[in-house]
Amino acid sequence: MRKLVFATGNPGKLREAAEILGGEFALVTPAQVGITEEIPETGHTLRANSLQKANYIYEKTGLDCFADDSGLEVDILGGAPGVETARYAGPSHDSEANMTKLLTEMARREKEAAMARTNGQSTPKATRGARFRTSVTLILGGERHFFDGVMEGSIAKERRGNGGFGYDPIFIPAGYTQTNGELGEEVKNTISHRYKALSAMAAFLKESYATKP
Ligand code: IMP
């Protein structure tokens, strides 16, 4: 079995990645290869962060590895929270506080835009459009490869459903009326930004090993 280190301490993510990659790969965590400290994540883009985390593992272990970083872009907020998604409402990564801040900021912007329109200014029509993005960096035999995934959708006016994690109760994926919180992980994991990026990586790995065993 091929060994790959996945830069995560999140058992849910590890399970999801193992399912997508299939049985040919043994996924191991940083802790299992002796990295117990928190891996730094100080980049200004999702790609910079996934590259920084993968580089950190590769420099310490020399093993094939990959890392991911995800973020939510909301149109009416000019693409925020983006790379700040996990800590939008503060460093504690509190999902409830993050969702409350997002809904409050969106309501404020919508009100501002409506006021501007009443004053005769032309502002783009308020939109609740949003998307999740994932950037994955794979280091294979010392070479870096990047894979991206996007899940388009919109932000609900209020929380619905309690499946999933993070912003799932307020994110409605395109083509659905339910939030990710209502759809649950089983559906979400077949359409998500992370699923798309990891599937692209899985296809690349299978091809690489088929041509260079
Ligand atoms: P991470 O880089 O995968 O840890 O994602 C950063 C933050 O984005 C997380 O802490 C969540 O708040 C949010 N996030 C990422 N993926 C999802 C998702 O699939 N559903 C809801 N929130 C997500």
179 Cβ below 6 A of ligand 1: no
The 10s digit of each residue's pLDDT in 161-200 is: 999 899 999 999 999 999 999 998 889 989 999 999 999 9
- Residue 191's alpha-carbon distances to 86, 132, 149, 172, in angstroms, are 21, 11, 10, 12
CA of 107 to the centre of ligand 1 (A): 22
Average pLDDT value over all residues in the chain: 94
Burial class (CB in 10 A: 0-12, 13-18, 19+), 23: exposed
Ordered domains of the chain (ranges, CATH) = 2-210 (3.90.950.10)
pLDDT at 42: 96
Distance from the alpha carbon of residue 3 to the mean position of ligand 1, in angstroms? 25
Band of pLDDT at residue 121, cut at 50, 70 and 90:
confident
- Residue 70 CB–ligand 1 contact under 6 Å: yes
From the list 69, 75, 148, 168, the catalytic residue is 69
pLDDT in tens, 82-107: 999 999 999 999 999 999 999 999 99
Radius of gyration of the chain (CA): 19
The confidence score (pLDDT) of residue 15 equals 87
Supply the residue whose CA is at minimum distance from atom 23 of ligand 1.
166
Q: Catalytic: 69?
A: yes
pLDDT of 126 above 70: no
Residue range 40-82, pLDDT digits in tens: 999 999 999 999 999 999 999 999 999 999 999 999 999 999 9
In the reported structure, the alpha carbon of residue 204 is separated from the centroid of ligand 1 by a whole-number distance in angstroms of 24
**Ligand 1 pocket test: which of 165, 179, 182, 185 has the largest number of ligand atoms within 8 Å of its C-beta?**
165
